[in-house]
Amino acid sequence: MKPLSPTLDSNTAPQKVLSSTSEKIDSTNSQSKTEIIRALNASVFIRSRQSLGTGFLISADGFILTNTHVIDADDRPLIILRDGQQFSAKLIRKDENVDLSLLKIDAQNLDYFQIGDAHSLYPGQNILSIGNPSGLAFTLTRGIVSYVGREIDGVSYIQTDAAINPGNSGGPMITEDYKVVAINTLTAKGEEGISFALPINYAFESGGIAETLGESRRSMKTGSMKTAQARYSSQDDSYQNEAKAYAAELEKTKNDLVEENKAILSELEEHRQKLQSSSLGILEKRRIQDRLQELKDQNSSLSNRLREAQVRYLRQMQSLLYRQKGDSRFSHLHEKIDLQLADIEDQKKKLEN
């Protein structure tokens, strides 16, 4: 594998202990006990013939996502809900290339997760993970996104510092608005605080194992396959538009500073000419000299303000490129994106030194 040599443990992902409503998880409020309970209810404990793991519900009628290695060769794994109910699941579809499986249990009115967008993640962002480490069912832990777009064997992962333990593979990584954005999948062998989650977009993009489920289900009911696909293709130019917005903001700041500089220089020249007059009294001369000094200080601060605006722009572009690199649609551009990131880092160092 790559430098970190992550291994595909058959039962992996996060730690720390915490502990049915039939509503969808609410994503409009900040964290609350009710929302955490719903998130735990929307997660499931999976027991196959040879391993333990985690999964999560993406519909009220029992569709479940997990890692393929969690169920191994068992096409009828046992699903245990938080309230103790047990079901024999049916394997609906799997994609071994990205280690994803779609299961189904015969149940109704279940809590389930809204589907988020892994493309929007950024380094330093807070996340929550749910799993069953070492069989300790329905454990919740907090962490941050460490890196977006870490490529391992041709697949882009979300790197996180959330603790990984046997039993957590297949569990949901969720944002603070309780949308699932990734699936806990890998841990770096022999390393602490380095684990990897598969972006949820792999499951729901065109051709993904769950493209007709979750949030896209409404559009699929209309019989239009193009609707779900358009949901992804419509984002293709979002990075370009965002980059243009940042560039426009920087350009406006530059123009404003240029105009401010012109006004300062004009006033400086005006006061210098006044000082040439022999009719000025001592107090008046001192007042003009003080004002000249103020204008010179203001003018010198303009370059600092411009530098701050440029650094802010570079940081915005850096974040955008990291998100784009984590977008599976742009995996063919990784080398180009890395060059751009290196160039931005060089520019930042020059401006900050």
Tally of domains within the chain: 2
- Give residue-wise pLDDT tens across range 107-155: 888 889 889 888 888 888 889 888 877 767 788 888 889 888 888 887 8
223 occurs within a structural domain: no
Residues 72 and 182 in one domain: yes
- Give residue-wise pLDDT tens across range 36-83: 888 899 999 988 877 788 999 998 888 999 998 888 777 788 999 988
- Asked which of 194, 210, 226 is the last residue of a domain, the reply is 210
128 occurs within a structural domain: yes
CA distance 176 to 68: 26
Residues 206 and 304 in one domain: no
Residues 201 and 242 in one domain: no
Q: Which pLDDT score is estimated for 102?
A: 92
Name the catalytic one among 9, 99, 111, 327.
99
The CATH number of whichever domain residue 44 belongs to comes to 2.40.10.120
Residues 314 and 201 in one domain: no
Q: Which pLDDT score is estimated for 14?
A: 30
Residues 265 and 205 in one domain: no
CA distance 169 to 187: 9
Residue 99 bears catalytic tag? yes
Q: Which pLDDT score is estimated for 87?
A: 92
CA distance 4 to 317: 27
Residue 120 bears catalytic tag? no
250 occurs within a structural domain: yes
CA distance 36 to 244: 38
Name the catalytic one among 43, 51, 101, 169.
169
Rg of the chain taking only CA atoms, in angstroms: 27
- Asked which of 192, 210, 228 is the last residue of a domain, the reply is 210
Q: Which pLDDT score is estimated for 300?
A: 81
Query: What's the chain look like in SS3?
Result: CCCCCEECCCCCCCCCCCCCCCCCCCCCCCCCHHHHHHHHHCEEEEECCCCEEEEEECCCCCEEEECHHHHCCCCCCEEECCCCCEEECEEEEEECCCCEEEEECCCCCCCCCEECCHHHCCCCCEEEEEECHHHCCCEEEEEEEEEEEEEECCEEEEEECCCCCCCCCCCEEECCCCEEEEEEEEEECCCCCCEEEEECHHHHCCCCCCCCCHHHHHHHHCCCHHHHHHHHHCCCCHHHHHHHHHHHHHHHHHHHHHHHHHHHHHHHHHHHHHHCCCCCCHHHHHHHHHHHHHHHHHHHHHHHHHHHHHHHHHHHHHHHHHHHHCCHHHHHHHHHHHHHHHHHHHHHHHHHC
Residues 258 and 176 in one domain: no
Residues 31 and 151 in one domain: yes
Residue 69 bears catalytic tag? yes
pLDDT in tens, the chain (353 residues): 222 222 233 333 332 223 333 444 444 444 477 888 888 999 999 888 777 889 999 988 889 999 988 887 777 889 999 888 999 989 888 888 888 999 999 988 888 988 988 888 888 888 988 887 776 778 888 888 988 888 888 788 889 887 667 677 888 999 888 899 999 988 766 566 688 899 998 888 877 888 777 544 333 332 332 333 333 333 445 677 778 888 888 898 888 888 888 888 888 888 888 887 767 778 888 888 888 888 888 888 888 888 888 988 998 888 888 888 877 677 778 888 889 899 998 898 888 77
Expressed as residue numbers, the domain containing 339 is: 238-352
Name the catalytic one among 43, 69, 146, 327.
69
Residues 255 and 200 in one domain: no
Which residues lie closer than 8 Å to 105 by C-beta, 6 or more apart?
Answer: 62, 64, 79, 87, 88, 89, 90
